[in-house]
Amino acid sequence: MKTGKRAGFRSLEGMSLNLFTEDELFEIHCATLNVLSDTGVRVLDDEAKDIYDGAGCLVNREDHMVKIPSHVVEDAIMSAPSTILLGGIDSKDDFYLKAGSSIAFTNFGEAIELIDPVTRERHGTTKKDVGDVARMCTAMDQIDFLERPVGADDVPGAVQTIHNAEAIFNNTTMHSFIGSGNGYNCGKMLEMAYTVAGGKDKFMEKPIYSATICPNSPLRLNPDITEVIIAAARGGAPCLFIDMGLAGATAPVTLAGALVVQNAELLASIVLAQLVRKGHPVIYGTSTLAMDLRSTTSPVGSPSLALISAATAKMAQYYLLPSWAAGG
Amino acid sequence: MLAQGITFDFAQLLIDNEIARMIKEVVAGITVNKDTLALDVIQAVGAAGEYVSHEHTYTNFKKEVSQNHLIFRGTRDAWQSAGSKDLTARAYEEAVEIFNNFKIEPLPQEVVSKMRSIVNEAEDYYSVQLSSE
């Protein structure tokens, strides 16, 4: 049997959600530019202030407000790459994280308790657990890279993040995302990552670890945030920005407004990373939640969370940046 | 993750892994081309025929139909004769199996030692007790 050739046939691969029109995305973008240029973000660290200042931002040294003009924001969006190579410790786990519609999964992170699979008892997590859980996540065929899953709460708080990194690097073959807490610790974690990668040069070509960084809401980039952005960008570790707004508490209760505040915090962070090292890989991420004002809890799993996560992915697609959405 | 993201649980990790696999299948959508439309197969099977024994079914079922591992898809009778284990119980069983057997190839000893010395440097910097592992 014969059939005709399909000429100019349009096909769609996969399925996706339609959440916003281009007009709506542009409206959120413009509202964010207004917030960044007129309200600004509060930056306490002097080195970060100097960097913003040098790029043409209006920096007030008394009230610590940094106002970022639109052209600086849009330049940063343009210079941040659309595809990021997340190197595995074992190269079979190398992963290209891309803007657009390709999806990947990681584990949820930052837990402080673990249920023992044999006794079913709950206990606070230790450094050994960090390694064990990293190893378990590595065994999962659908997990593409690792987020620091639990914390080493049995070591002194000041060095916990460094112990987390040691336990993770020794117990996974995948790329990992780990928080550092301050610039010094980020530097030490980078030294470890260079060792694992076989030298700084090799790490710069193919980083095996990324810095997880959570801006503070509303509109605050505290020194623990800006120090890590500067250290990670200089040291070559991609920056995963996970905004953690609370709609109804630290952001407007209306989700569109919460998205504007989140976008302003993420873009202010991305601007700093791009000013330190143009083209530095960044991920546009969210763990913004809606506060349940009746129970005063913030459920990690609700219709609002689904909408915020999908909306964040749409904003990232609009900016041609890779995105990340957290959720239990 | 349980309890507002406070508690990590291996059974849920395995269940999430299975859900992630299914999500990837859903977002992959439905491919429309000559082979998937299967016009020749439909015409060959005809009315009142069957597709189970057709080559087209055999060559495509693994990529077209989701292959569950933890979620039990049988009848209640089949589930009871398999021991009536709920999803959580099966997930914990498999988690313990993986926990006891899945190994990560150790990094070279000099890398492990160098990382150790970096951790000790940081502990010295903060004047906290030096750790040995």
Whole-number percent of chain A with pLDDT over 70: 99
Q: How many CB pairs under 8 A join A and B?
A: 152
Residues of A in contact with B132 (CB under 8 A): none
Integer angstrom CA distances of residue A238 from A185, A208, A216, A229: 16, 9, 19, 9
Evaluate whether residue A150 is within a structural domain.
no
Most B-contacting residue of A107, A148, A160, A174 (CB-CB within 10 A), to test interface: A107
Average the pLDDT over A48-69 and give the result.
Answer: 98
In this prediction, residue A324 carries a pLDDT of 96
Cβ separation B7–A122 shorter than 8 A: yes
User: For A210, how many CA atoms within 13 A lie in the half-sphere containing its CB?
Assistant: 26
A144-179 pLDDT, tens digit per residue, is 999 999 999 999 999 999 999 999 999 999 999 999
Task: Nearest by CB to B118, from A143, A188, A299: name it.
Answer: A188
Residues of A in contact with B28 (CB under 8 A): 13-15
Evaluate whether residue A264 is within a structural domain.
yes
In this prediction, residue A294 carries a pLDDT of 85
**Average pLDDT over all residues of chain A:** 95
**Nearest C-alpha neighbor of A89 from the set A21, A7, A174:** A174
Q: What is the DSSP string of A88-152?
A: -SSGGG-EEEESSS----B----BSEEE-TTT--EEE--HHHHHHHHHHHHH-TT--BEE--B--
Backbone angles phi, psi at A241, to 5 degrees: -95, 115
* A53 CA: distance to closest CA in chain B (Å): 31
In this prediction, residue A36 carries a pLDDT of 98
Integer angstrom CA distances of residue A55 from A34, A50, A106, A271: 18, 9, 35, 10
Encoding tokens for residue B99?
């926990």
Integer angstrom CA distances of residue A328 from A108, A286, A300, B3: 6, 13, 6, 9
In this prediction, residue B1 carries a pLDDT of 61
User: In chain A, which residue ranges form alpha helices assigned H by DSSP?
Assistant: 22-34, 46-54, 70-79, 127-139, 160-169, 183-197, 200-205, 223-235, 255-276, 303-318
Low-confidence ranges of chain B (pLDDT < 50): none
What's chain A's length in residues?
328
Position A273 confidence tier, pLDDT thresholds 50, 70, 90:
very high
Cβ separation B104–A172 shorter than 8 A: yes
| Residue A181 domain boundaries | 22-83+172-325
d(CA A191, CA A111): 25
**pLDDT(A123) > 60:** yes
d(CA A182, CA A232): 10
**pLDDT(A326) > 90:** no
In this prediction, residue A157 carries a pLDDT of 96
A275-293 pLDDT, tens digit per residue, is 999 999 999 999 999 988 8
**pLDDT(A1) > 80:** no
Evaluate whether residue A167 is within a structural domain.
no
Among A258-262, A307-311, B57-61, name the one with the lowest average pLDDT: B57-61
What's chain B's length in residues?
133
What's the whole-model pTM score? 0.92
**pLDDT(A59) > 80:** yes
Evaluate whether residue A247 is within a structural domain.
yes
Average the pLDDT over A129-134 and give the result.
Answer: 97
Average the pLDDT over A63-83 and give the result.
Answer: 98
Q: Which residue of A has its CA nearest to B24?
A: A103
**Whether the Cβ atoms of residue A29 and residue A318 lie closer than 8 Å to each other:** yes
* B91 CA: distance to closest CA in chain A (Å): 9
Residues 47-106, chain B, touching A (beta carbon < 8 A): 92, 95-96, 98-99, 102-106
ipTM of the complex: 0.86
In this prediction, residue B125 carries a pLDDT of 97
Evaluate whether residue A239 is within a structural domain.
yes
Position A15 confidence tier, pLDDT thresholds 50, 70, 90:
confident
A183-197 and A160-169 helices, crossing angle to 10°: 20
Average the pLDDT over A251-261 and give the result.
Answer: 95
Q: Which residue of A has its CA nearest to B28?
A: A14
CATH number at residue A236: 3.20.20.480
- Count of domains observed in chain A: 1
Rg (CA), chain A: 20
Average the pLDDT over A262-279 and give the result.
Answer: 98
In this prediction, residue A293 carries a pLDDT of 84
d(CA A313, CA B74): 37
**pLDDT(A328) > 60:** no
In this prediction, residue A14 carries a pLDDT of 86
Among A58-67, A111-120, A165-174, A223-232, name the one with the lowest average pLDDT: A111-120
